[in-house]
């Protein structure tokens, strides 16, 4: 019996020729990641167990992205703790201030993740790196400590669910629409502890930014990881970024899948996830007339250059509706700079948008865009649970950048065709 990409990666990192779903394996990790919220607990555990060093100073990464620039004294203290730890133990990849971006956009950009890697992160959206053909998953802060110290972790080999995508992508449709469609199909527990594997001719024409967006939200279907095959698009993306050896794995023709779904992407329209679950998905056209108070374009899901471009194309020549706050958040300094060079900032400012420095901020109700009671936001972020972006009586609707930008202009949830 053949193996899937995920199974092959775990087998290789466990020095096994073959693994199958349900097995427990002790696998080497290539990268351990934490941020300003999750790292402090890991560092407390590091001290409690008496650890004296990390397994590799090049392969432990700390990114200060959630409550930074520091919003209060506790967040400042957290960052100070991590900064001092990084200096003491010689951590190479500590990112804050002007070098910092949203972690799941920053790490691929910096070339810290490559095909065939095993990556753990004390953040559930660590599954983003599956877009590069890596096995990448979120873990708890104490599990991360174990990985930081030993360079390995225990994993249960997940079953795989395959999504074979065919057809031609329609205007304004991106990886965000695809993953919202999938979560709407199978539900928030439809892939519980499974691997979401993307395949098909339509995937080969999907941009890397869109792949990263889709892999990012695999966790919203309960998945252990999301993963894309490595192709020319992947190799072009990593060519000048990943400086160390990597290994490309592909699923065998006779690999075993729990389920296989076929999706014709030419039939996909702009999707929106309504409160209070990412699976409560409808076509944007069905939601016409729902007023909004805020639009957020950014996050580890949709803060990349493709997202900035799409938002600028929709917003150009228009104004944000009165009484609507439109917050644009380029996810990294490099994306910020490229957006500035390409003239996107001029479009955003002319439209009346607020441009934020790179931060997770509003996505988790941290800062830079908190909602009050009764307020409603359209957002390119990844979660819309009760109270996710502020007051428990506020609402978050999830969309791609085209819908978010169109809605900011209309003052209500809008399809991009209404503007473009």
Digit-coded pLDDT (tens) for 329-355: 999 999 999 999 999 999 999 999 999
Fold of 5-264: Aconitase; domain 3 (3.30.499)
Which residue, among 245, 360, 258, has the nearest Cα to 301 in the 3D structure?
360
Model confidence pLDDT, tens digit, residues 127-177: 999 999 999 999 999 999 999 999 999 999 999 999 999 999 999 999 999
- Whether the model pTM is above 0.85: yes
Architecture per CATH, domain 270-418, reads as 2-Layer Sandwich (3.30)
Give the strand pairing for 152-156 and 24-28: antiparallel
Model confidence pLDDT, tens digit, residues 354-394: 999 999 999 999 999 999 999 999 999 999 999 999 999 99
Model confidence pLDDT, tens digit, residues 25-70: 999 999 999 999 999 999 999 999 999 999 999 999 999 999 988 8
Does 420 score more than 80 pLDDT?
A: no
The pLDDT of residue 121: 97
| 5-264 and 270-418: identical CATH topology | yes
Helix H, strand E, coil C: the string for the chain is CECCHHHHHHHHHCCCCCCCCCCEEEEECCEEEEECCCHHHHHHHHHHCCCCCCCCCCCEEEECCCCCCCCCHHHHHHHHHHHHHHHHHCCCEEECHHHCCCHHHHHHHHCCCCCCCEEEECCHHHHHHHHHCCEEEECCHHHHHHHHHHCEEEEECCEEEEEEEECCCCCCCCHHHHHHHHHHHHCCCCCCCEEEEEECHHHHCCCHHHHHHHHHHHHHHCCCEEECCCCHHHHHHHCCCCCCCCCCCCCCCCECCCEEEEEEHHHCCCEEECCCCCCCEEEHHHHCCCECCEEEECHHHHCCHHHHHHHHHHHCCCCCCCCCEEEECCCCHHHHHHHHHCCHHHHHHHHCCEECCCCCHHHHCCCCCCECCCCEEEECCCCCCCCCCECCCCEEEEECHHHHHHHHHHCECCCHHHCC
The pLDDT of residue 131: 98
If you average pLDDT over residues 311-331, what whole number do you get? 97
The pLDDT of residue 68: 83
The pLDDT of residue 207: 97
Q: How confident is the model at residue 120 (pLDDT cuts 50, 70, 90)?
A: very high
Q: How confident is the model at residue 1 (pLDDT cuts 50, 70, 90)?
A: confident
Model confidence pLDDT, tens digit, residues 101-112: 999 999 999 999
Average pLDDT, the chain: 96
pLDDT more than 90, % of the chain: 98
The pLDDT of residue 419: 87
Does 100 score more than 90 pLDDT?
A: yes
Which residue, among 114, 75, 112, has the nearest Cα to 94 in the 3D structure?
112
Of residues 1 and 160, which shows the higher confidence score? 160
Model confidence pLDDT, tens digit, residues 260-298: 999 999 999 999 999 999 999 999 999 999 999 999 999
Domain ranges of the chain: 5-264, 270-418
- Torsion angle of alpha carbons 334, 336, 342, 348, nearest 10°? 170
213: Cα within 13 Å, side-chain hemisphere: 32
The pLDDT of residue 69: 86
């Amino acid at each position: 019996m053949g193996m899937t990409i995920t199974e092959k990666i775990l087998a290789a990192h466990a020095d096994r020729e073959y693994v199958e779903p349900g097995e427990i394996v002790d696998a080497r990790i290539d990268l351990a990641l934490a941020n300003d919220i999750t790292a402090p607990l890991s560092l407390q555990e590091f001290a409690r167990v008496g650890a004296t060093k990390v397994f590799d100073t090049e392969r432990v990464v700390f990114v200060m992205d959630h409550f930074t620039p520091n919003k209060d004294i506790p967040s400042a203290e957290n960052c100070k703790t991590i900064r001092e730890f990084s200096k003491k133990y010689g951590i190479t990849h500590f990112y804050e201030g002007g070098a910092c971006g949203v972690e799941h956009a920053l790490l691929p950009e910096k070339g810290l993740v490559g095909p065939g890697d095993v990556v753990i992160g004390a953040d559930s959206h660590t599954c983003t790196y599956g877009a590069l053909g890596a096995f990448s998953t979120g873990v708890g802060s104490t599990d991360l400590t174990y990985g930081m110290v030993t360079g390995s972790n225990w994993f249960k080999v997940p079953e795989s669910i395959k999504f074979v995508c065919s057809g031609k992508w329609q205007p304004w449709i991106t990886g965000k629409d695809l993953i919202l469609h999938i979560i709407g199909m199978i539900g928030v527990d439809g892939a519980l502890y499974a691997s979401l594997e993307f395949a098909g001719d339509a995937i080969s024409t999907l941009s890397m930014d869109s792949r990263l967006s889709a892999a990012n939200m695999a966790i919203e279907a309960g998945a252990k990881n999301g993963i894309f095959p490595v192709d020319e698009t992947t190799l072009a993306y990593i060519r000048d970024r990943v400086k160390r050896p990597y290994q490309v794995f592909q699923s065998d023709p006779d690999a075993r899948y729990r389920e296989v779904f076929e999706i014709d992407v030419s039939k996909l329209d702009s999707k929106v996830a309504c409160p209070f679950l990412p699976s409560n998905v409808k076509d944007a056209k069905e939601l016409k007339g729902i007023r909004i108070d805020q639009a957020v374009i950014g996050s580890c899901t949709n803060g990349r250059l493709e997202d900035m471009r799409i938002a600028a194309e929709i917003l150009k020549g228009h104004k944000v509706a009165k009484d609507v706050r439109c917050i644009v958040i380029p996810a990294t300094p490099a994306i910020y700079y490229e957006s500035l060079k390409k003239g996107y900032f001029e479009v955003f400012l002319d439209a009346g948008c607020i441009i934020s420095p790179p931060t997770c901020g509003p996505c988790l109700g941290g800062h830079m865009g908190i909602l009050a009671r009764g307020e409603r936001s359209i957002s390119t972020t990844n979660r819309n649970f009760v109270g996710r972006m502020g007051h428990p009586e506020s609402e978050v609707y999830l969309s791609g950048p085209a819908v978010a930008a169109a809605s900011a202009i209309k003052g209500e949830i809008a399809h991009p065709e209404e503007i473009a």
